Structures are given as structure tokens and as C-alpha cells.
Structure 1
Amino acid sequence: MKVLSTILAASAFASNADIAAHLIAADSSFWANAAKITGSSDAILRAWNGKFDKAMDDAFHFCTDKSYVDQEIIWQCGKKVTEATFNKNPNFNLMGRYAASQFHQLDQNGDGKLCFEEFKIGFAGFFSTVGSTLVDIFDVDGNGVLQGQENHDMHFGLNNIWDEFSSDKNRKLITPILDTWIGSDLDNNVDTLSKAEMTEQAILHSVPYW
């Protein structure tokens, strides 16, 4: 029994160490990507060519019943999303922190608010940053896509993070998401997952929360 307990404790320690390493890597990569991507997110939005218009409209009206959002509205909206996902870590609020850090770039007319058009640019920037970051932290060979073992590592890593920070109620809700394998094929290669494909997956998997 003592040997079994030792093995289980060692396994838990290794898992927690892996989770911590992934979170540190993700945090560093996310903010580096945010600084680069947000400035060109209007071009990303144009490239989508209306593909995610409904998702953006749903997200906007999930956050506000007004014709605009401001930093406080987005912060409170992010708290609602966090409650439905990382509810064991309420300070996570990635949406709110992203908006706070990038708001000056998104608020194109400087009125302290984001109209729907400005919000859409922020939506494109946020989800492109998420998609790029998820590829970056698991892309061991640095070729810009996830393939083979990298895909396995990504799914295993995300499941561990969700297990650590989500309650059983939320864990059951997001299990279908984490069980999903490669669901986007924008580059006609079903064996790889690019940053654009990961961005698409991040958007599609977020739709149920809105």
C-alpha cells in the first residue's frame, strides 16, 4: 500500500508539474501573440469573409444589451465565461485580461467603448491569439502545425488543465469538446492542425457558451 501511495503521489506530482509548465508556456506565448496579432486582426476579420458573423453577433449580445461594450462590460462577460469553464480558478478571466491589455488598439475612435465593428476586430484578435498559442506551446518541431504526437500531447495537456481547474459539472459540459479530434481541415491535410484551424476550433467550441 505504501508503494502504491508513493507511485500515485509521484504521478500526481508529475501531472501537476506538466500542467504548471504548460500554463507558464501558454501565458508567455499568449501575451507575445496578442501583441503581434491584435494589430492585424482587422485583416484576419476580412479574411474570414463573414464565416463567423453569427458567432460574433451571439458573443456580442451575450456580453451586452447595449450597442457597445467597454472594458468593464467585457470584464464581467469574461467572468461569466470563466464561471462556465475555469470556475475553480475565477481569476483566470482570459477574455477580460485580453480586453484590458489590447483595448487601446481596438478602440479605434478613442471613445472608451467598442461598437460592434470594433468588437468584431477584437473577437478576431482574441481567438486568433488563442489558436496560435495552442499550436505554439505543443509544436515541438517548430513547423507551425500540430501533427502526430503533438496532437496527442495537445489533447492530453488540455484535458489535464481542464481537470485541474474545472468542477465536475463543468467538466461534463466540456468533455465533448476535449474528446473532439481534428475537426477543421482548412489546408486539405487531415493529419495536421494549423493555427488557423485551431482558431476555428476555438471559436466553434466556444459557441455553446453564448
Structure 2
Amino acid sequence: MSKGLFITGTGTDVGKTYVTALLIKKLCEGGLRAGYYKAAVSGNEEGPGGLIPGDGEYVREISQNGQTLASMVPYVYRQSVSPHLAAKLEGNPVELEKVAAGYRRLSREYAFITMEGSGGIVCPIRYDKKVLWLEDIIRQLKLPSLIVADAGLGSINSAVLTAEYMKQNKLPVWGFILNHYHDDSIMERDNRYMIEQRTGLPVIECIADGQRELETEAEVWKEMYI
């Protein structure tokens, strides 16, 4: 039976794809069958067979999990905008059932699936005659989450607001991963402390710039997948 975990962030460009790639790599190195999934990805370039899902390509390169790009992302857009707007500009809006069906197919092949979100937790995935938000996908797939946050200035506010929104909307959260972390920074050490104090959630790992391995063991990450 496959198990899953959702990776969301405090916003765009906080390092969700980078963290997800390292997490899948760690699971693979621990001898586990680990796959990647993302409902929709924007800002992609054309390849020989069409648009290439850049995030999926990056994860595959870093993790070396051998997964096909076609199985990673069902909706791929060219425009570097939110998926709901990309679909309005390019067509092919996201259907929840197609996303769920792709996840189920992947579940038959991989024991552990790490699903990455688009943008932050309050991200519109579709907004036309149908309305679909990122949290609707999390609920549909019944996944717990980890929150990726930048370790620098402003992280307390963005991390706490994200966690509180998810708690209020009954979206299970295990904790945080802080990216771009500098252990010699008193501010960033304090940010970590204050985030934990205000949310009651642990910072599971702090990742330095250029880090290529997660320090937390695969067995610990494994327990977060349900």
C-alpha cells in the first residue's frame, strides 16, 4: 500500500522543489521506492515532445529515482503564472479526478509518493465554471504536509500564518523545513525557535545553501508518510 506526503511552502520560490528532490533522494538511498507527483506546474519550456515539466525534470535529476516525466505532472503550462491563470491563457484547466487518477496510478508503482504543491497553500488551481484550490487536492488525497519556509527575515510571519491557516482548515501538518539556513546567524536561529514556539510544530531540518543531502535519516522521514 503506497503512502504519501505533501510538500507545501510559505510562498513561491522558497525551495519546495529543491527540498522535495533531496527528500526523494534520501528515501531512494534508504532503499525505498520513492516517486514524485505535482498536480500542475507553470513556467515550462518546449522540448522535442512538447512542454517539459521543469520541476519534475529537476527532481528526477537530483533524486535519480528513474521515474518518467510523463508520470510526474498531469498539467504542464508555459506561462509563469498561477495554474488557474495559465489555464485561462492556454486552455486545459485542471480536473481534480485526473489529478487523483494519476496519483492512484503512481501508487501502484511507488511505495512512497512525495507530492509538491504549487506556490503557497492558498493557491488557486482552477477558477472558471469550476473552482479548485490547492487545499482541495490535499483533502482529496488525504495527505499530511510539511511546510518549507525561507530561514531569513520575515520567516516567522509567513511560517506562522501558513501553519495557522492549515490548522484552521483541518489540513494536517507535521512541521517545517527551513531553507537557506545559516547556523551562524543569530536571527535565523531565533527564527527557528520562534516558529516552533508560536506554532507548536517542530522544525525538522534546516538546509544550508548548496546542501546536497538531508541530515535526517530516511527512517525518520518514512514515518511522516501515511
TM bracket (short chain):
under 0.3
More helix by share: 1
More strand by share: 2
Task: Tell me the TM-score normalised to structure 2 length.
Answer: 0.25
The structure number with the bigger radius of gyration is 1
